[in-house]
Amino acid sequence: MQNTVVVTDLIAVGLKRGFDELLSFGVANGSSTMNSSTPTANGNDNKKFKGDRPPCSPSRVLHLRKIPCDVTEAEVISLGLPFGRVTNLLMLKGKSQAFLEMASEEAAVTMVNYYTPVTPHLRSQPVYIQYSNHRELKTDNLPNQARAQAALQAVSAVQSGNLALHGAPSNEATILPGQSPVLRIIIENLFYPVTLEVLHQIFSKFGTVLKIITFTKNNQFQALLQYADPVNAHYAKMALDGQNIYNACCTLRIDFSKLTSLNVKYNNDKSRDFTRLDLPSGDGQPSLEPPMAAAFGAPGIISSPYAGAAGFAPAIGFPQATGLSVPAVPGALGPLALTSSAITGRMAIPGASGIPGNSVLLVTNLNPDLITPHGLFILFGVYGDVHRVKIMFNKKENALVQMADANQAQLAMNHLSGQRLYGKVLRATLSKHQTVQLPREGQEDQGLTKDFSNSPLHRFKKPGSKNFQNIFPPSATLHLSNIPPSVTMDDLKNLFTEAGCSVKAFKFFQKDRKMALIQLGSVEEAIQALIELHNHDLGENHHLRVSFSKSTI
């Protein structure tokens, strides 16, 4: 069933109802429509809008309330950018409301799930987002839509690298002749680690990144980043200079480099040439080419910027500022090429203190015949230290997992929700519970509740641990470590085969035979193998360490 609505007449009348409900009323002039597959309520029911209406089913059209009256179209669009392509926008500033249409329902669901535990802000004011009961937003013939359409076109152009940012002064939008495609990036207030992958994910939104070199100079973490085109470097500098990567710290200071090209010798965690996958990994400490060292006075050896960095980074992302702000958000979010391998936190929200939300996850759609508290402890422990696990006594396909803090809970949720485990698609959301209660003495539990607070298997107890830099999404390739000298490739391949895995490839690290990569038949196989074989006793007082790898063999 489709409902035809004329928005302009409703605005003129100035009805005092939520705009999402106003769209449910048919009006004679049929120039513009919003389509809905949901039957509409009558006028009396619409009065329940103020918080009483049950939530709508997912839709790619989102209803935004409490937007500031002076907010720009670009700022509203920026709320949706990290989650996918924004295809349409309808603003009703007089009612402090707006509608945002995403390219897919999946992108809209991700956006709503993300903003549910932590309220986004525009111009320091909280904004509330929910699904609209309409499935499509049509604004072709509406008046006052020129600004919205211009903002949408500007966003599309920026993503494709063809236009300056919407709202930028004309003098800033001018690309100087001979301008370098190489940016020099300085990270100020480096309270949490910033990896090469994080930089790549952030800057890739503005164009193709060809090469990155990171180094430390004058006790500051710095990077050189080369785009395919100077235009991309220009847009990135305009949008990102002065932004915080993490909440209230790790500030980006960006300038154009005097270099016009970077010469990368090694592909590792300090430098990367994305056009040369054949480069060796070196010893992890690649040297700068002489021209680069001369340009920046950098030492011959690039030192690690991560020494002493402790704990998980809190919220990741860029606060909503004037003009077009493009926040970085965790999770695999499609068109912006934001992959969760680089991100270890969540969006910074202006005015928010600490990490909102709680540390307990509700995990649903588990296989009740195969899942155990220990299995959930091992799996979720890849993304944080699990303190307690409780599988529901009367509904064993559901479980509660308590992480060490809210940020770890968010990280685990972003990486694991939607992954297949024992034939079922796991779902993880933030729970309403603040802690997982242990069973009372004498209470029947069947071993479904476990306390892992003091487990020696926690990966992140040690401040500054390298594990903080090696958090990647589930993949078919696993990283193995702590392998004793007597264990051979066949031993390890047989171990995984006996666990029910199909081994596709295997490779020991050339310079450190205590580590290896093993590629299995699917991501699901790798997840199950990690659960079963992490901490497996290999003899000689060696227990196998298993984690997901960003590499392939």
Stretch 386-414: mean pLDDT: 90
Any idea which residue has 């999402």 for tokens?
A: 20
Any idea which residue has 């939530």 for tokens?
A: 55
Q: Which comes out higher in pLDDT, residue 207 or 529? A: 529
**348-368 pLDDT, tens digit each:** 323 222 334 578 999 999 999
Contact 309, 168 (CB under 8 A): no
Name the 3-class secondary structure at 235: helix
Tell me the range of 190-199, 201-210, 261-270, 486-495 where mean pLDDT is highest: 486-495
Please, which pLDDT band fits residue 296 given cuts at 50, 70 and 90? very low
pLDDT value, residue 178: 62
Name the 3-class secondary structure at 106: helix
* Token duo for residue 404: 């060490």
pLDDT above 70 covers a percentage of the chain that reads: 70
Stretch 3-27: mean pLDDT: 33
Phi, psi of 213 (to 5 degrees): -130, 130
Q: Which comes out higher in pLDDT, residue 106 or 10? A: 106
Residue 376 has pLDDT above 90, yes or no: yes
Dmax over Cα atoms in the chain, in whole Å? Answer: 82
Rounded Cα distance, 159 and 85, in Å: 10
Write the single-letter amino acid at 522.
Answer: S
Contact 481, 543 (CB under 8 A): no
Burial of 400 (C-beta count, 10 Å sphere; 0-12/13-18/19+): buried
Phi, psi of 147 (to 5 degrees): -65, -40
Nearest Cα to 91, choosing from 21, 15, 32, 145? 145
* Token duo for residue 217: 């100079």
Q: At what angle do helices 196-203 and 230-240 cross, to 10 degrees?
A: 100
Stretch 532-550: mean pLDDT: 93
Burial of 70 (C-beta count, 10 Å sphere; 0-12/13-18/19+): exposed
Q: Report the first-to-last Cα separation within the chain, whole angstroms.
A: 52
Any idea which residue has 């500030």 for tokens?
A: 251
Rounded Cα distance, 76 and 238, in Å: 19
C-alpha dihedral sign at 233, 236, 240, 242: positive
Contact 241, 184 (CB under 8 A): no
**154-163 pLDDT, tens digit each:** 666 655 544 3
Nearest Cα to 375, choosing from 408, 326, 325, 416? 416
264-300 residues labelled b (16+ CB within 10 A) or e (exposed): bbbbbbbbbbbeeeebeeeeeebbbbeebeebbebee
Name the 3-class secondary structure at 22: helix
**65-83 pLDDT, tens digit each:** 999 988 888 888 878 877 7
C-alpha R_g of the chain: 26
Write the single-letter amino acid at 201.
Answer: Q
* Token duo for residue 218: 């004058």
Rounded Cα distance, 259 and 246, in Å: 28
Rounded Cα distance, 406 and 411, in Å: 9
Other C-beta atoms lying within 10 Å of the C-beta of residue 545: 19
Nearest Cα to 436, choosing from 494, 358, 352? 358
Element housing 508 (H / E): strand 503-508
Rounded Cα distance, 66 and 543, in Å: 54
